[in-house]
Amino acid sequence: MEDLAGLTGLLYEIGLLKRYKRTGWLVAGVREPESIAEHSFRTAIIAAVLAAMEGADPQRAAFLSLFHDTQETRTTDIPYLGKRYLQVAPNEQVTADQVRNVPSAVADVIKGAVDEYETKTSLEAVCARDADKLDCLMQAIEYRDQGHQNMQSWIDTSVAALATETGKRLAEEVQRTGSLEWLAHALNGGSARSS
C-alpha cells in the first residue's frame, strides 16, 4: 500500500509543525515562541468565528486555516526580512510536492484548500487570511503583556492587512482588551464587556 505509506509520511511530516517555532517572534526577542501548529490552531478557531460573523462557512474557513502554513515543514518559517533575500517556492508548489504520494482523494482536498487560501477565491479564504493576521495581532499583544517590548510593528502590520469588516472591528476590540481580562470576568462570574 504505497499510498498509505505516503500518507503516513505526510502525517509524520505535518507533526514537525508542533516543533518548529515561529521565527518572527525570535527576531522580536521572544526566547520560547509559539510553534507553527499552535499558531494554526488558534487561527482555525478565529477563522470559524470570522466566517460565522461574515456569513461564510465556518467549517470551510477553519479547514483552510489548518493547511495555510503546512508548507513550512519544508520551507520553515522564514522571517519577512529573510524573504527579501530568498526565492521561496509558492505554497501551492510545496503542497503539490508534499502530497505527491498520497491517495488522490486526499491530495485533491489538500491542494484545493491551499489553492483557495492562496488565491482568496472565496469569502472563507478571506476570513482564513484575516484569521492568520488576527492571531498574529493577539500573539503580539500577549507577548507585549508578558514584557516583550518590540511588538508594535507586528501589531501595526497585522491590523493593516485585515480585509473583512468583522476582522477590523475585532482587531480594534483586541487592542482595547488586555490579554487576561477574560480571566477576571470568568473568575468573578461576569461576562466580558461588549463594544
Q: Give the separation between CA 176 and CA 86, rounded to whole angstroms.
A: 37
* Contact between 51 and 65 (Cβ < 8 Å): no
133: CB partners within 8 A, 6+ apart: 158, 159, 161, 162, 167
Task: Give the model's pLDDT for residue 88.
Answer: 85
90 secondary structure, DSSP code:
P
pLDDT for the residue numbered 80: 80
- pLDDT recorded at residue 127: 98
CA distance 82 to 76: 11
- Per-residue burial over 31-65, b if 16 or more Cβ lie within 10 Å, else e, is eebbbbbbbbbbbbebbbbbbebbebbbebbbbbb
Strand partners, 139: none
Q: What is the mean pLDDT of each successive set of 10 residues along the chain, which is 195 residues long? A: 85 97 92 97 98 98 98 90 88 97 96 98 98 98 95 96 98 95 88 55
Amino acid 106: pLDDT: 96
What 3-state class would DSSP assign to 21? strand
